[in-house]
């Protein structure tokens, strides 16, 4: 497993600072030893503490736990604090995690992975505190899982020695010295105001946001990304227990990666072809048009914010519907210029001053080139002064592109209490698809020739990656089920990452109860403009296989091997394996996790599948991990 770049960079930078400040050779030697340990040196014989997740060894608990936090997204001290664990609870936590890792199972969500490598790719920071606390009530985890596990008898000593090892220093001076290094402990985070610029050196800025997350920026424009998951280096920089000894993180590499991804992302939206595809998507555009134009009680005289306005089509609808002011936010410089010109060409542009520009342009739309997280640096706008927040933020599988976090940021920062979110609900659905949803039928008859060997290989490859394509509803072999629902007016940003279960039942239009093969599951979403805000004309934007196709298509997750399904009346052979033609499953039980990936703006999807036979027997298959990039 590759070494975490942030961990190595941190060690190198700190080593350099200490060598410049202290000429004590003994101290330098001790620091070099620590550095070698962090870099995975070869002196394994001298290392005492084994990592919870990999084969790395460390000479101190602090070094081990820092490695686990940075590399495996497991913050031991933070979890202890959040769960309120005493010594014995922490003792159980270590044994529990070791037992799960040995079984290739995620300690936080329970997903079973096919290999150790799959588990390492799956690990994530979010966890359900109630579920974990309940598991730790079991006294079986008081028994050491690993023989001679020195970590079990040493981690508690760190607390006792905290005061002794706490160095006296000025946090502000350290930030100034390092320039692009942030101090991340509770005291410091509490002192930083939301989105307030802390320090800027060489064009690199560190800003703070609520909930203990830090926003990292790496340009003179102060680009901020509102605490999303940002990669292997910094999964999420959450506040840690007040340990009196501040932890230093090097933000440079992470900030550059985020800026690079953002530049590419927003740059891609400079292509007019993309905007033509979106505007030409009648299901999409008509849903927004209806919500904005056919709800006069909502729009008349309202202040509207359009997040990610693109060409400004939604802003134009809002202005046409009678909004008194439309704040159109666009991070792409080219599209912000285009949207401004379009507003002017249609007499809807709002001048910054009464005497500026064409007198005929006395409209309501003002286009701001910025990310919404930095809006207050570009214009003067009072918090909680917007009546309606509209945005077409949805990506493939709903959550791809991670734009929802920016919308929620805008909601919490600018929307009035009780203000309208358009749309205000989002729901992800799942169903099983059959052979017609694969490429097998095509390859079985190519101008009369059998090329099914290619089709089988294509299906096998499809089990490794999510596929964005159209599924015909006739190819669905199970009912559709709700996987996850979001109330966009009230949800919290961390609820974007979730684990949910769904139960699918075999669906047949005839009464012969024959078995058929389920080759995988398909995901799609609906967004709702409900009567909560759209009282005159509520509407739904659906990407379902049962409705006309959209540019989002559907997201297809293919099983490694097809699962035979049939109705509950099928006469199954009791000795046959569940999911085979002799004993097809009458139900398929899914456990699906969707979370922001280590690569910015991408998502990871884990899929666990189990089949239940008509007589109640159950069979589970290894988890599959999909990355949507």
Q: What is the DSSP letter of 193?
A: P
Nearest to 268 by CA among 604, 601, 497, 524: 601
Residue 76 to residue 99: CA distance in whole angstroms:
16
Torsions phi, psi of 504, nearest 5?
-110, 140
With contact defined as beta carbons under 8 Å apart, do 358 and 337 qualify?
Answer: no
193 contacts: CB under 8 Å, gap ≥ 6: 208
33 is catalytic: no
264 contacts: CB under 8 Å, gap ≥ 6: none
Torsions phi, psi of 282, nearest 5?
-65, -35
Which of the residues 10, 366, 401, 608 is marked catalytic?
401
How many CB atoms within 10 Å of residue 165? Answer: 11
Name the pairing type of β-strands 603-612 and 587-596: antiparallel
Residue 424 to residue 400: CA distance in whole angstroms:
18
Nearest to 530 by CA among 307, 282, 298, 283: 298
Which residues on neighbouring strands pair with residue 565, listed in sequence order?
516, 585
**Strand spans (E) along 535-617:** 539-542, 554-565, 587-596, 603-612
Q: Mark out the alpha helices in 73-154 (DSSP H runs).
A: 76-83, 87-102, 116-122, 129-135
Residue 469 to residue 39: CA distance in whole angstroms:
43
Residue 299 to residue 61: CA distance in whole angstroms:
58
With contact defined as beta carbons under 8 Å apart, do 77 and 62 qualify?
Answer: no
Residue 158 to residue 143: CA distance in whole angstroms:
22
Token pair, residue 9, equals 């960079």
7 is catalytic: no
Which of the residues 38, 373, 392, 608 is marked catalytic?
392
The residues assigned a catalytic role are 392, 401
């Amino acid at each position: 497993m590759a070494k975490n770049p942030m961990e190595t960079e941190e060690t190198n930078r700190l080593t350099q600072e200490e060598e410049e400040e202290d000429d004590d050779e003994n101290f330098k030697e001790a620091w070099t030893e620590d550095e070698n340990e962090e870099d995975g040196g070869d002196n394994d014989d001298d290392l005492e503490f084994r990592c919870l997740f990999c084969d790395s060894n460390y000479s101190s608990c602090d070094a081990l736990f820092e490695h686990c936090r940075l590399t495996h997204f497991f913050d031991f001290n933070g979890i202890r604090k959040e769960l309120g664990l005493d010594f014995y609870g922490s003792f159980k936590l270590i044994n529990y995690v070791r037992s799960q890792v040995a079984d290739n199972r995620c300690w936080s969500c329970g997903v079973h992975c096919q290999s150790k490598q799959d588990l390492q790719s799956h690990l994530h920071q979010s966890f359900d505190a109630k579920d974990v606390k309940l598991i730790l009530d079991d006294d079986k985890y008081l028994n050491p899982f690993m023989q001679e596990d020195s970590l079990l008898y040493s981690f508690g000593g760190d607390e006792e020695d905290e005061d002794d090892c706490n160095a006296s220093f000025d946090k502000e001076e350290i930030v100034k010295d390092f320039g692009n290094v942030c101090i991340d402990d509770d005291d410091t985070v509490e002192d930083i105001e939301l989105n307030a610029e802390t320090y800027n050196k060489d064009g690199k800025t560190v800003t703070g946001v609520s909930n203990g997350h830090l926003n990292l920026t790496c340009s003179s424009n102060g680009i901020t990304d509102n605490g999303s998951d940002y990669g292997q280096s910094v999964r999420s920089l959450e506040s840690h227990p007040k340990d009196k000894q501040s932890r230093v993180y090097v933000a440079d590499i992470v900030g550059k990666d985020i800026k690079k991804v953002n530049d590419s992302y927003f740059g891609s939206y400079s292509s007019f072809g993309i905007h033509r595809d979106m505007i030409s998507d009648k299901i999409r555009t008509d849903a927004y048009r209806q919500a904005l134009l056919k709800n006069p009680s909502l729009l008349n005289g309202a202040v509207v914010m359009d997040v990610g306005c693109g060409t400004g089509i939604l802003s134009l609808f809002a202005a046409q519907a009678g909004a008194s002011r439309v704040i159109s936010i666009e991070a792409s410089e080219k599209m912000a210029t285009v949207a401004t010109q379009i507003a002017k060409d249609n007499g809807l542009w709002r001048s910054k001053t009464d005497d500026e520009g064409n007198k005929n342009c006395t409209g309501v739309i003002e286009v701001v080139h910025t990310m919404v997280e930095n809006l207050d640096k570009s214009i003067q706008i009072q918090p909680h002064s917007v009546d309606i927040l509209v945005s077409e933020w949805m990506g493939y599988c709903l959550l791809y592109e991670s734009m929802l976090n920016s919308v929620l940021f805008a909601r919490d920062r600018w929307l009035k209490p009780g203000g309208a979110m358009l749309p205000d609900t989002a729901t992800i659905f799942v169903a099983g698809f059959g052979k017609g949803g694969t490429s097998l039928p095509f390859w079985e008859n190519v101008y009369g020739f059998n090329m099914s060997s290619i089709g089988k290989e294509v299906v096998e490859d499809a089990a490794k990656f999510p596929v964005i394509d159209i599924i015909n509803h006739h190819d669905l072999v199970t009912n559709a089920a709700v996987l996850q629902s979001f109330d966009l007016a009230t949800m919290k940003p961390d609820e974007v990452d979730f684990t949910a279960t769904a139960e699918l039942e075999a669906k047949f239009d005839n009464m012969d109860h024959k078995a058929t093969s389920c080759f995988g599951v398909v995901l799609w979403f609906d967004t709702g403009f409900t009567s909560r805000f759209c009282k005159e004309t509520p509407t739904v934007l659906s990407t379902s296989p049962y409705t006309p196709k959209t540019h989002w298509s559907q997201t297809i997750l293919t099983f490694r091997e097809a699962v035979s399904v049939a109705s509950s009346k099928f006469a199954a052979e009791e000795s046959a394996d569940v999911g085979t033609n002799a004993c097809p499953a009458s139900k398929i039980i899914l456990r699906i996790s969707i979370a922001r990936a280590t690569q910015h703006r991408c998502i990871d999807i884990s899929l666990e599948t189990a089949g239940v036979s008509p007589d109640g027997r159950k069979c589970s298959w290894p988890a599959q991990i999909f990355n949507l990039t």
